[in-house]
Amino acid sequence: AEVFRVKKVHQLQQGLGDVAIRSDAKVLATAGWDHKVRMYDNRKCAPLASLKYHTAIVRAVAFSPDAQWLASAGGDAVVALWSLYPPKVAQ
């Protein structure tokens, strides 16, 4: 007989429309059904920011290739651009 273990997972939000990971894999962004964009430290799973602008479900998030911008698109027909600090570059 097989035994399955169930692991309880902390739910970040009530629902997610999308998830994006920054190019350096340090930051994760979520598009929430609660009209918010949330950012997390991808390694520690710690919240970094909660961005509120949309008036409807946020359906998509995407980082720019240079990691300086985050775009979010919502059911309110709005695309928001968020200016971000770029990742540190090793010298």
Band of pLDDT at residue 50, cut at 50, 70 and 90: very high
Q: Residue 33 and residue 16: Cα distance in Å, rounded? A: 6
Give the per-residue pLDDT at 45.
84
Q: Per DSSP, what are the bridge partners of residue 79?
A: 73
Q: How far apart are CA 34 and CA 9, in angstroms?
A: 19
Q: pLDDT tens across 15-46, in order?
A: 889 999 999 899 999 999 999 999 999 888 89
- Confirm whether pTM is higher than 0.85: no
3-state helix, strand, coil in the chain (%, to 5): 0, 45, 55
Separation CA 64–CA 57 (nearest Å): 21
